[in-house]
C-alpha cells in the first residue's frame, strides 16, 4: 500500500510526493486540546480507520516566537519515544505550506490528575504503580540524554488499559518554557524545582524533583509546597521542608525526602539516576521486568467505551467546532508564509518501509 513508499527522510530524496501522507488522509473528529501554537484533534485515518491524536501547529506563530529549534527538538525526542511503553509515540510528521502536523498515539483514559481529583488521594500501591511507570520513562529519556523538565499533571495521561503515557504534549506548554523569562511560569509553579525557579543551571535531577512532587500529591492530595498565594508557594519551594505526615509508609517518606531535596547535588538520582530509585525500598514490591512488559495489572482501568469516548477530556475543548481550514492551504501566500514554508527542513517522517500501518 501507500505506506511502504513513505520511508525515512533522506532515504530516497526523489520519493514521489503523492506517496507522502497528507492532511486529507484523515477525518478530523474532535478538538481534544489547544495550545499556544495550535490544537490537537482526534482524527481517524481514512484508509486504515485507526484513531490518532493529530497535533496541528501554525508555522507563522512558531516563527514569530522563534521556537523552530524547540519544535524540531520535540520532534526528534518523539522519534526516539517509539521504543518505550510509557511514552507517547509519533507515527508521522508532515507539513503543508503554513502548518506542521504530528500524528501521535491517541490516549483517552484522561489525565492522571483528573482521576486523582475525583478520588482525593491514591493508596500507596496505586501511587507506587504510577510512580514506577513514570520513573522508568524518565530514566529512558535520561539514557538518551533528554531532560524532560516539564513533568506535571497535564502531561501524565492514562491509556484505556490504565497504564501511564507521558506526553511531551502538555497542551498549554508549547512555547511557555520555564526558562523563557517572559511568562511568569504558565499558571502556577507547583511542580518546578528550586533551581528552575531561580533560573539556575539544572540537570536531569530536575525530573526526579518533579516526580517527587507528583508522588507527594498522589499520596497526600496536594502538591508538597502548595499555597493559594503564589509568592508564598515560591518561597516554600525554595526554603521550606516538605511536610511528611505519617499516613505514608517510612519507605514512602524516605523516597519523598530524597526526591524533594532542594540541593540538586544531594538529590536522589544524582549519582546513578533511575537506578537509585529502582532499588529504593519504596519500589521493592515492583518487578521491573514485568512492569516494562506491561504484565502488572493496572490498579484502575478507566471506563472508556471506545476510541470516540471523550468523557475524560475537558468539554471546554471537545465542544469546539472542527474547522475545515485544516486541509486547505492558505490561498493567499504572503511573504511571511513563504518564509515559513521552508523553515522546517527535514520535519516530515514516515515509518521505516517494513512498518505496516494497520
Active-site residues: which are they? 150
3-class DSSP state for residue 269?
coil
From CA 27, how far away is CA 326, in angstroms rounded?
A: 10
What's the rounded Cα separation, in Å, for the pair 188 and 109? 25
What is the grid cell recorded at 282?
A: 519504596
Helix or strand (DSSP H, E) at 135: helix 124-143
Cβ neighbours around 30 below 10 Å, total: 17
Q: What angle do CA 128, 156, 42 make, to 5 degrees?
A: 140
Instruction: Check whether 64 is labelled as a binding-site residue.
Output: yes
All residues at 6 or more sequence positions from 69 whose CB lies less than 8 Å from its CB, including other chains: none
CA distance 8 to 352: 6
Neighbours of 2 (CB within 10 A): 13
User: Which H helix or E strand runs over 158?
Assistant: strand 156-158
Radius of gyration of the chain from its Cα atoms, rounded to whole angstroms: 21
Element (H, E) at 55: strand 51-58
Question: Helix/strand/coil (H, E, C) string of 214-257?
Answer: HHHHHHHCCCCCCCCCHHHHHHHHHHCCCCCCCCCCHHHHHHHH
* Residue 26 parent element (H or E): strand 26-34
Which residues are annotated binding-site positions for ATP? 64
Amino acid at each position: 500500500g501507500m505506506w511502504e513508499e513513505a520511508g525515512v527522510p533522506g532515504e530516497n530524496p526523489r520519493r514521489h510526493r503523492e506517496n507522502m501522507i497528507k492532511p486529507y488522509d484523515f477525518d478530523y473528529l474532535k478538538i481534544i486540546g489547544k495550545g499556544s501554537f495550535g490544537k490537537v484533534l482526534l482524527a481517524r485515518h481514512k484508509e486504515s480507520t485507526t484513531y490518532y491524536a493529530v497535533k496541528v501547529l501554525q508555522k507563522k506563530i512558531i516563527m514569530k516566537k522563534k521556537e523552530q529549534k524547540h519544535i524540531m527538538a520535540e520532534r526528534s525526542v518523539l522519534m526516539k519515544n517509539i521504543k518505550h511503553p510509557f511514552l507517547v509515540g509519533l507515527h508521522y510528521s508532515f507539513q503543508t505550506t503554513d502548518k506542521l502536523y504530528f500524528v501521535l498515539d491517541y490516549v483517552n483514559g484522561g489525565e492522571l490528575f483528573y482521576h486523582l481529583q475525583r478520588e482525593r488521594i491514591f493508596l500507596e500501591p496505586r501511587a507506587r504503580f504510577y510512580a514506577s511507570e513514570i520513573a522508568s520513562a524518565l530514566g529512558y529519556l535520561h539514557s538518551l540524554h533528554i531532560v524532560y523538565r516539564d513533568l506535571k499533571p497535564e502531561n501524565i495521561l492514562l491509556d484505556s488499559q490504565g497504564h501511564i503515557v507521558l506526553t511531551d504534549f502538555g497542551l498549554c506548554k508549547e512555547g511557555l518554557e520555564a526558562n523563557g523569562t517572559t511568562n511568569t511560569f504558565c499558571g502556577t509553579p507547583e511542580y518546578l524545582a528550586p533551581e528552575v525557579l531561580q533560573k539556575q543551571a539544572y540537570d536531569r535531577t530536575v525530573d526526579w524533583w518533579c516526580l517527587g512532587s507528583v508522588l507527594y500529591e498522589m499520596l497526600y492530595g496536594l502538591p508538597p509546597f502548595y499555597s493559594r498565594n503564589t509568592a508564598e508557594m515560591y518561597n516554600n519551594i525554595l526554603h521550606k521542608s516538605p511536610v511528611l505526615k505519617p499516613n505514608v509508609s517510612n519507605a514512602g517518606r524516605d523516597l519523598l525526602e530524597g526526591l524533594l531535596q532542594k540541593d540538586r547535588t544531594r538529590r536522589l538520582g544524582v549519582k546513578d539516576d533511575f537506578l537509585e530509585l529502582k532499588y529504593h525500598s519504596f519500589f521493592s514490591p515492583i518487578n521491573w521486568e514485568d512492569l516494562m512488559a506491561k504484565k502488572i495489572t493496572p490498579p484502575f482501568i478507566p471506563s472508556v467505551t471506545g476510541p470516540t469516548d471523550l468523557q475524560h477530556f475537558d468539554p471546554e475543548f471537545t465542544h469546539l467546532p472542527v474547522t475545515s481550514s485544516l486541509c486547505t492551504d492558505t490561498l493567499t501566500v504572503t511573504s511571511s508564509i513563504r518564509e515559513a514554508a521552508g523553515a522546517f527542513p527535514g520535519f516530515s517522517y514516515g515509518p521505516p518501509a517494513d512498518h505496516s500501518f494497520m
